[in-house]
Chain A
Amino acid sequence: AQSVSQHNHHVILSEAASLELGCNYSYGGTVNLFWYVQYPGQHLQLLLKYFSGDPLVKGIKGFEAEFIKSKFSFNLRKPSVQWSDTAEYFCAVPGGGYNKLIFGAGTRLAVHP
């Protein structure tokens, strides 16, 4: 069965620090991977997605993620975080038949000015 693991549940950083959030997946089909973000008081929204092609994916707000097939990983990165990046981040894979998304447990990021 498909599953997603996010290793960091809470991350605290100072502004300008670099960010890397881990995501590992177990998925038997064509690999599609997503990172969603939920800012305080806001909807879940798509940050970036990988479907095929270049394994380094660029998303909104300076985020990127790299799909490494050999490691079953899709880690999220940002070279220099801002206070406004404070949010909860979710990695996700499609369920069988694209009828659902399976989410990781989420990582709460707090960025201090």
Chain B
Amino acid sequence: GAGVSQSPSNKVTEKGKDVELRCDPISGHTALYWYRQSLGQGLEFLIYFQGNSAPDKSGLPSDRFSAERTGGSVSTLTIQRTQQEDSAVYLCASSSQGQSSYEQYFGPGTRLTVT
């Protein structure tokens, strides 16, 4: 079946603008994760959604970052008033519920460049 998809694949924006990044998880996966991959910082966890539970936002670096997940499926990560340090590849992953099925499937990422 289809894997995790993300759009856009690349986004160039000016400092101070808002951006929205989209993630379509694998159908039926209840858990959805956002990570950020940047030079010097490696892979950082941002936010986690599981079913209808309140999301774990503990990884969001500032209040300029927010995310939502509509209908338990598609998720949007929004970055307001972008800064140059926000430049990174934003990765989305999904997994099915349960410890034995903990494998996370990653999307191709959105490369964000803030100029």
Residue positions of A touching B, CB distance < 8 A: 32, 36, 42-46, 49, 51, 90, 94-95, 97-106
Contacts and interface: CB of A to CB of B under 8 A. Distances in A.
Among A44, A49, A105, the most chain B Cβ lie within 10 Å of the Cβ of: A44
Given A43-B3, A43-B4, A44-B91, 14 more contacts: A32-B99, A36-B106, A43-B107, A44-B106, A45-B106, A46-B104, A49-B102, A95-B45, A98-B102, A100-B33, A103-B42, A103-B43, A104-B42, A105-B42
B90 interface: no
Contacts of B103: 46, 49
Interface string B1-21: 001100000000000000000
A99 B56 contact: yes
Given A44-B91, A46-B103, A102 B45 contact: yes
24 contacts: A32-B99, A32-B102, A42-B108, A43-B3, A43-B4, A43-B106, A43-B108, A44-B106, A46-B103, A49-B102, A94-B102, A95-B45, A97-B56, A98-B102, A99-B56, A100-B45, A101-B35, A101-B43, A101-B45, A101-B104, A102-B45, A103-B43, A105-B42, A106-B43
A51 B45 contact: no
Contact of B50 (A44, A99, A106): A99
Interface residues of B, number: 22
Contact of B59 (A44, A45, A98, A100): A100
B48 interface: yes
Contacts of A97: 56
Contact of B99 (A42, A98, A100, A104): A98
A100 B91 CA distance: 13
B100 interface: yes
B56 A100 contact: yes
B30 to A, nearest CB: 12
